[in-house]
Amino acid sequence: MPLFKVAIVGAGPAGYFAAQALQNQQNEDRTFAIDLIERLPTPWGLVRSGVAPDHPKIKTVSKVFEKIAADPNFRLFANVEIGSEISVAQLKEKYDAVVIATGSHLGKSLGIPGEELPGSLSAADFVPWYNSHPDYVDVKVPLDCDTAVVIGAGNVAMDVARMLALEPSELDPTDTADHAIDAFKASAVRDVYISARRGPEHAAFTSPELRELPKLEHTNVVINKEDIDAAIVRAGAEPEKEVKSNLDAMLLIAESQKSEHERTMRFLFQHTPKQILGTDRVEGVVYSTPNGDVTIKCGLVITAIGYQAAGIDGVPYENGKVVNTDGRVNENLYVVGWAKRGPSGVIGTNKSDAAAVVELMISDLKTPKAAGDISQLLTHQVVVDQSAWQKINEAEVAAGEPKGKPRVKSVKRDELLKLGLS
Ligand code: NAP
């Protein structure tokens, strides 16, 4: 039975769903040996370092990932960097197909004056900071101010604003990084603005996230009812289903806002950021609005306006994505997930996306090349394989148990390696 070897670069949702799609396509004509390669010592990508820790249900998809990994023809090679340590060209020589699944983790910038000031940062740095990503432990998040501004009207902006506006003890039973919980507990921030440059009818939030907001037990959530009434008029008699659902959810918030709590999350619409003020650090944001310029004084600004992919040598990039046609890049190189289509869609979107790319790949496959695999290319021995990852995983879960947390993540690469390779 022909055995095709496929290397997948990037062990996030897109990578795992590509592996699953390959596994689902096995029959008497073809089988697949899958090597999943990851730069970090740990897999799971944004399920580990992107999903908000107060949304543990979203992380249960990791059970699916571990089922995919249990297949005897699946191997994990974590702590291995493609692009520097091993080239994409080398992988392409060895494997019948190579799939790039590296996501997009660089935050887009606004391109306005003051964006480089201390206290102005991207969600692309803030989110992995509170999620224990080893590369982001040292991100400076000044929380010594009373007001923070989050720019953007998508679900990432919502996660960020919620994390800033939550009563921090609500994070105790979560896997939020200890350094972040400590910082949030010491935080002076009490007012969090979340600003959209367009009206509520154009917001990129999804309604389940909006519907959760009134359930926050210690935070006032404030939406101006006039903003929603005007948006309902603009949206017309037959708005799209998602728009209607969003507007309904926002109207509900606007009609039942609380004011008794010390912490407040406030939505601003039709506020286009123009300038970030400050000399040595952020002091405010100037917006242009339909009523003229408005300044919000604040000491922290977090932009959550989308992501772009980081380049890997040997892979063509354009406009923050890998250059591809329906997932085909060139020869035996393919791309899936955010690196393919840009930063949109929820985790599950990657499933159908990967399945479609795998179908194309299969139509390209001829006979297996049997040219070896990554084990002949490795330049060091400190590889975290599936059994080493399982040791890390079990150790983190065990460390969380006495604290009532799902896990305590290690924030240092060497600690992770020690756990896995002991
Ligand atoms: P997004 O949904 O594309 O939202 C980006 C937001 O940034 C939009 O509101 C956009 O406004 C705004 N924006 C872009 N450029 C701007 C600028 N120059 N000035 C001001 N605002 C600007 O992106 P995201 O929030 O990063 O989320 C990425 C994907 O992950 C989405 O599909 C999202 O649903 C998903 N996600 C899901 C969850 C969840 O399910 N819980 C959590 C997090 C993320 P315009 O529309 O005006 O351009």
Give me the DSSP letters along 170-199. Answer: GGTTS---HHHHHHHHH----EEEEE-SS-
pLDDT of residue 422: 83
DSSP secondary structure letter of residue 86: B
pLDDT of residue 53: 97
- How far, in Å, from the CA of 345 to the mean position of ligand 1? 10
Side-chain half-sphere of 373: how many Cα atoms within 13 Å?
A: 18
The rounded distance, in Å, linking the Cα atoms of 169 and 161 is: 16
Neighbour tally for 70: CB within 10 Å: 9
Q: If DSSP codes are grouped into helix, strand and coil, which group holds residue 78? A: strand
- Ligand 1 atom with the smallest distance to the CA of 111 is 18
Question: Is 411 a pocket residue for ligand 1 (Cβ < 6 Å)?
Answer: no
Considering only CA atoms, which of 6, 214, 221, 198 is closest in space to residue 99? Answer: 6
**pLDDT, tens digit, 9 for 90 and up, residues 132-181:** 999 999 999 999 999 999 999 999 999 999 999 999 999 999 999 999 99
**Residue pair 235/201 in contact by the 8 Å Cβ criterion:** yes
Question: Is 273 a pocket residue for ligand 1 (Cβ < 6 Å)?
Answer: yes
Question: Is 167 a pocket residue for ligand 1 (Cβ < 6 Å)?
Answer: no
The rounded distance, in Å, linking the Cα atoms of 211 and 195 is: 18
Tell me the percentage of the chain whose pLDDT exceeds 70: 100
Residues 6+ apart with CB under 8 A from 114: 120, 275, 276, 277, 278, 282
Question: Is 204 a pocket residue for ligand 1 (Cβ < 6 Å)?
Answer: yes
Question: Is 47 a pocket residue for ligand 1 (Cβ < 6 Å)?
Answer: no
pLDDT of residue 381: 79
- Ligand 1 atom with the smallest distance to the CA of 52 is 42
Question: Is 306 a pocket residue for ligand 1 (Cβ < 6 Å)?
Answer: yes
The rounded distance, in Å, linking the Cα atoms of 64 and 17 is: 9
Average pLDDT, 10 consecutive residues per value, the chain (422 residues): 96 98 95 98 97 95 98 97 93 98 96 98 98 97 98 98 97 97 98 98 97 95 97 96 98 91 98 98 98 98 95 92 97 97 94 97 95 92 95 97 97 95 86
Question: Is 155 a pocket residue for ligand 1 (Cβ < 6 Å)?
Answer: yes
- How far, in Å, from the CA of 158 to the mean position of ligand 1? 9
